[in-house]
């Protein structure tokens, strides 16, 4: 159980069976919402795979929690293969944010919290750059994610063009400089251990 007070959010590595189950449930809820909105989504069994193994090739899974509620989950890929970005870009040290899902019933801007946490986390690890890829199956002016892309721009993300993504899909490539954010500790902080007392498997 969480003992974090008030509005403080905590980021935990997803290591336990219960945390993996929570991540799968969140992914399922989010995909159901997207389906209701007319979006084509992958099967939940496939989408939840990156959160079932802390050592999978798609990055280390993390969750953003407030109390006992999982607000968002994602993976951080510390060694992304970004040859498709171009030789010069691929050579730059970065961490790739992948498989980001947010809780459909919590309207708070959890993407902003994840962005700030990841920027601070990367900076403290000596990694200068965050990267992300957002689906681009439509023209920019008709893309249902265009509003989301505008929000990312306001969070400091920069578009680096459209092209193949790490999963061979068509994406908008984004990057953002990392930065230490000392004041972030009062809003969202990392936790060094698993989310509960069960043994990680």
Widest CA span in the chain: 48
Return contacts of 41-50, CB within 8 angstroms, 24+ apart.
47/99, 47/101, 48/23, 48/24, 50/75, 50/98, 50/99
Contact 129, 94 (CB under 8 A): yes
Q: Which CATH class is domain 9-190?
A: alpha beta
Confidence of residue 118 (pLDDT cuts 50, 70, 90): very high
pLDDT in tens, 128-140: 999 999 887 655 4
The closest alpha carbon to 108, from 80, 54, 69, belongs to 69
The string of pLDDT tens digits covering residues 9-34 is: 999 999 899 999 999 999 999 999 88
pLDDT of residue 155: 93
Angstrom distance (rounded) from CA 70 to CA 11: 10
Higher pLDDT: 48 or 135? It is: 48
Per-residue HEC secondary structure of 22-54 comes to HHHHHHHHHHHHHHHCCCCCCCHHHHCHHHCCC
> Within a 10 A sphere around the Cβ of 200, how many other Cβ atoms?
14
Helix (H, G, I), strand (E, B) or coil at 16: coil
The pLDDT score that the predictor gives to residue 37 is 76
- Kindly tell me if the per-residue pLDDT of 191 is higher than 80: no
Q: Which two tokens stand for residue 171?
A: 């994406």
Nearest-angstrom CA–CA distance, 188 and 11: 7
Beta-strand pair 188-190/9-13: parallel
Pairing of strands 69-77, 170-177: unpaired
């Amino acid at each position: 159980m969480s003992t974090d007070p008030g509005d403080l959010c905590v980021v935990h590595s997803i290591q336990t069976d219960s945390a993996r189950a929570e991540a799968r449930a969140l992914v399922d809820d989010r995909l159901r919402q997207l389906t209701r909105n007319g979006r084509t989504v992958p099967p939940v069994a496939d989408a939840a795979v990156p959160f079932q193994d802390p050592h999978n090739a798609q990055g280390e899974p993390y969750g953003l929690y407030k109390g006992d509620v999982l607000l968002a989950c994602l993976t951080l890929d510390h060694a992304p293969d970004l040859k498709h970005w171009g030789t010069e870009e691929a050579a730059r040290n970065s961490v790739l944010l992948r498989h980001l899902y947010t809780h459909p019933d919590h309207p708070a801007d959890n993407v902003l919290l994840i962005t700030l946490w990841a920027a601070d986390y990367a900076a403290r690890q000596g990694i200068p750059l965050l990267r992300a890829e957002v689906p681009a199956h439509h023209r920019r002016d008709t893309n249902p994610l265009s509003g989301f892309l505008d929000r990312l721009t306001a969070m400091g993300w920069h578009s680096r063009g459209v092209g193949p993504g790490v999963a061979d899909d068509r994406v908008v490539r984004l990057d953002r400089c990392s930065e230490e954010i000392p004041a972030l500790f009062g809003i969202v902080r990392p936790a060094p251990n698993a989310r509960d007392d069960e043994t990680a498997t």
